[in-house]
A and B are shown apart, each in its own frame.
Chain A
Amino acid sequence: MYQTVIGLEVHAELSLDTKIFCGCSTKFGQEPNSQTCPICLGLPGALPVLNEEAVKYIIKIGLALGCRILPEARFDRKNYYYPDLPKNYQISQNYLPFAVDGYLELPPSQKKGTPIKVGIDNVHLEEDTGKNIHSESGGREGYSLVDFNRAGIPLVEIVTRPDMHSLEDTESFMVSLRNILLYLGVSNCKMEEGALRFEASVSIRPDEASSLNARVEIKNLNSFKSVLRSLQYEIERQRRLLSGGEIVSGETRLWDEKEGKTLTMRVKESSPDYRYFPEPDLPPVVIKPQWIKTIRAAMPELPAERLRRFVKKYHLPPYDAIILTSSKSLADFYEEVVEGFPDGKHVSNWIMGEVLEKLKERKIGIEESSLTPASLSELLNLIKCGTISGKMAREVFAEMFATGKGAGEIVKERGLAQISDTRKIKETIDLILKKNPAAISDFQTGKKKVIAYLTGQVMKETKGAANPQLVNELLQEALQQQ
Chain B
Amino acid sequence: MKIEKKEVEHIARLARLKLNEEEKERFGRQLGQILKYIEKLNELNTEGVEPALHIVPLQNIMRKDEVKDSLPVKDALANAPATKGKYFKVPRIIE
Contacts and interface: CB of A to CB of B under 8 A. Distances in A.
Contact of B71 (A36, A74, A133, A147): A36
A18 B68 contact: yes
Nearest to A56: B65
B59 A286 contact: yes
A185 interface: no
B64 interface: yes
Nearest to B13: A268
Interface string A22-45: 111100000111111110010100
Contacts of B66: 17-18, 23
Greatest chain B CB density within 10 A among A41, A49, A55, A79 is at: A41
B49 interface: no
A138 B16 contact: no
A31 B85 CA distance: 11
B18 interface: no
B70 A24 contact: yes
Nearest to A280: B54
Given A41-B76, A49-B62, A273-B10, A32 B67 contact: no
Given A36-B76, A81-B14, A285-B60, A145 B84 contact: yes
A24 B68 contact: yes
B77 A18 contact: no
A50 B62 CA distance: 5
A404 interface: no
Given A35-B70, A49-B62, A283-B59, A143 B16 contact: no
A84 to B, nearest CB: 9
B12 to A, nearest CB: 11
Interface string B53-91: 110101111111111111101001101001011111111
Contact of A32 (B60, B64, B86): B86
A441 interface: no
A427 to B, nearest CB: 71
Interface string B28-40: 0000000000000
A143 B84 contact: yes
Interface of B is mostly: loop
A318 interface: no
Contact of A17 (B65, B82, B94): B65
B62 A146 contact: no
For chain B, which range describes its interface: under 10, 10 to 19, 20 to 34, or 35 or more residues? 35 or more
A193 B66 CA distance: 22
A34 B66 CA distance: 17
Given A34-B70, A144-B91, A273-B14, A51 B76 contact: no
A285 B65 contact: no
B56 A283 contact: yes
A17 B67 contact: yes
Interface string A68-90: 00000010000111110000000
B59 A285 contact: yes
Contact of A147 (B56, B62, B79, B87): B87
Interface string A253-296: 00000000000000010000101001010111110000000000
A134 interface: yes
A283 B61 contact: yes
A284 B94 CA distance: 38
Contacts of A138: 92, 95
A33 B36 CA distance: 44
Contacts of B62: 49-52, 55, 285
A25 B67 CA distance: 6
Contacts of A38: 71
B59 A135 contact: no
B14 A80 contact: yes
Contact of B77 (A33, A54, A133): A33
B15 interface: yes
B44 interface: no
Given A51-B63, A283-B58, A283-B60, A37 B91 contact: no
B93 interface: yes
Contacts of A16: 65
A383 B14 CA distance: 70
B71 A37 contact: yes
B90 A144 contact: yes
A33 B86 contact: yes
Contacts of B79: 43
Given A18-B65, A283-B54, A25 B89 contact: no
Greatest chain A CB density within 10 A among B66, B67, B69 is at: B67
Contacts of A37: 68, 70-71
5 contacts: A17-B67, A23-B66, A133-B87, A138-B95, A144-B91
Interface of B: 10, 13-16, 53-54, 56, 58-71, 73, 76-77, 79, 82, 84-95
